[in-house]
Amino acid sequence: MLKKLFFVAATSVSCMVFSQNGNRQQLMDYLDSLSVHHKVMGSFAFAAKDQPSFLKVTGFSDVAKLQKANMNTQYRIGSISKTFTAVLVMKAVEEKKLSLDTKLSVFYPEIENANKITIGNLLQHRSGIHNLTNEAEYWTYHTKPQTEQSLLSIIKKYKSDFSPEIKYEYSNSNYILLGFILEKIYKKSYAQLIKEKIAGPLKLTLTEVGGKIDPSKNQALSYQYSNGNYQLSQETDMSIPIGAGDIISTPTELLKLIIALENGKLVNKNSLAQMKGFKDNYGYGIAKIPFEKYSGYEHNGGIDQFRSVLYYFPELKIAVSAVTNQSDYDNNDISVKMIQTALGKDFKMPNFKENSVSEELLRKYEGLYKAEGFPLDVKIFSEDKKLMGQATGQSAFPLEAVSESEFKFETAGITMKFNTEKGTMDFSQGANNFTFKKQ
């Protein structure tokens, strides 16, 4: 669900492979290496020619009980839930219960610009409605149960970010509203709709709306690996991300979902074409994604310390999915290597040797850093001979040394380069670059 700015020490491994060759063995070795070095644990699968071809599961679903994850372990999938919600909306359109041009004011007239915002705008993140998870106050209530009215009161108090339709800006608030709208028009809970209209017809027995995580039911907890230990993450209360990030599933079932979507088993051809009507690379619950000369569609997700991806490439008939419940690595790199393997290509194995930086030098980097135009402050500190970062209102994260002055947090694609003489830290994440000043 969340689009964060940042994102027993033994690891146990289980695996299942539907068909085997050298490329698949290389991918298994790669995932084993990530697991051994505490970079990632989770479940990874792909389908070739629309058929299941690979599954690998690593690590624990419950570290404290040394409970190994397996092919049936359920994980929180975060914002991939938005693809499910978009499917439900398109089904409602097909059933003439809703129109893409229906105004938000029909349901929530008290929201700013509700008489101008359409269902299509909500689906495509072009409503201008402010993203409630962008606010620091979100972290004060995200573990507490919420109601439709309490969430509505939070959403409507924020001023609109822009006029509807003029641009794309990702907002979880859009899909929370869509979740409630679906409940209103069908007079059923969102959980019932997922079961009756998607999970049931596709026989997805491990896909459902989640609640409090129950490891005894083979549901994975999420963790951050720090200072030689797995640290249990807080749990977002699943009453909050209705429609935006409240589903639990497995990579194999997510593959079934996206293959069924492409092959007309969920919505009709016209509805799928509308979902693929990308503007600024985002359609209805799916985003456009390139790979080499090919184009596909996807959604990814992040909630607590869970990270998830789901890709489909129609020309190649290749689908890829992965959900991790601990990651100190760039999950995009994992996805690329999975696609390469599905295409029968080799890839270069990573080297996990970390550079050593003296404690004396690490202490020189410590302090509070601020940057003009950046909404959060970043605290840098050392702990057990390792540099750590922590943004305002977020969990601390480990920084891996690239050199004596440069560090990275691969999970979120962050690089930080320190200059002790100037008292600055150059920060980069994707296309974002800022120079922070030590206070």
* 241 neighbors 414 (Cβ within 8 angstroms): no
Strand partners, 326: 41
Please determine, for residue 8, whether its predicted confidence score (pLDDT) is greater than 50: no
Instruction: Give the model's pLDDT for residue 21.
Output: 56
The confidence score (pLDDT) of residue 22 equals 62
Q: What are phi and psi of 75, to 5 degrees?
A: -125, 150
Amino acid letter, 409: F
pLDDT at residue 384, rounded to an integer: 78
| Inter-residue contact 77 to 246 (CB < 8 Å) | no
pLDDT mean across residues, the chain: 91
Q: In what order do the strands lie in the sheet with 13-16?
A: 13-16, 51-58, 40-48, 318-327, 306-313, 294-303, 287-291
pLDDT at 196: 98
> What's the CA gap between 378 and 367, in Å, rounded?
8
Q: Which two tokens stand for residue 255?
A: 């593959």
Burial of 269 (0-12, 13-18, 19+ CB in 10 A): exposed
- Is residue 75 within 8 A of residue 59, CB to CB? The reply is no
Q: How is 238-263 classified by DSSP, letter by letter?
A: TTSSTTTT-EEE-HHHHHHHHHHHHT
CB-CB neighbours of 257 under 10 Å: 25
Q: How far apart are CA 286 and CA 188, in angstroms?
A: 25
> pLDDT per residue over 81-133, tens digit each?
999 999 999 999 999 999 999 999 999 999 999 999 999 999 999 999 999 99
Residue-level pLDDT at 9: 25
pLDDT of 11 > 70? The answer is: no
Question: Among all chains, which residue has been given the structure tokens 């060759």?
Answer: 21
pLDDT of residue 330: 82
Q: Please determine, for residue 41, whether its predicted confidence score (pLDDT) is greater than 80.
A: yes
Asked whether 397 and 7 are in contact (CB, 8 A), the reply is yes
Question: Residue 285: what residue type?
Answer: G
Digit-coded pLDDT (tens) for 172-210 = 999 999 999 999 999 999 999 999 999 999 999 999 999
Task: For residue range 132-163, list pLDDT tens digits in order.
Answer: 999 999 999 999 999 999 999 999 999 999 99
Residues 252-270 have a mean pLDDT of 98
| Dihedral sign from CA coordinates of 149, 154, 158, 163 | negative
Tell me how far apart the alpha carbons of residues 416 and 328 are, in angstroms, rounded to a whole number: 16
Tens of pLDDT along 408-424? 887 677 899 999 999 99
The strand pairing partners of 401, in sequence order, are 407
Q: Write down the pLDDT at residue 15.
A: 36
- List domains and CATH numbers for the chain: 1-352 (3.40.710.10), 359-438 (2.40.128.50)
pLDDT of residue 19: 38
The tens digit of pLDDT for each residue in 357-409 reads 889 999 999 999 999 888 889 999 998 788 999 988 777 888 888 888 999 88
Is pLDDT of 236 > 70?
Answer: yes
pTM of the model: 0.81
Q: CA triplet 378, 383, 386: central angle to 5 degrees? A: 85
Between CA 105 and CA 102 the distance in angstroms is 8
**Three-state SS for 404?**
coil
Burial of 329 (0-12, 13-18, 19+ CB in 10 A): buried
Residue indicated by tokens 């994260």? 397
Q: Which two tokens stand for residue 375?
A: 């909404």
| Nearest CA-CA partner of 262 in 253, 271, 272 | 272
Note the pLDDT tens digit of each residue in 310-359: 999 999 999 999 999 999 888 888 999 999 999 999 888 887 766 788 89
| C-alpha torsion 388→392→395→396, nearest 10 | 10
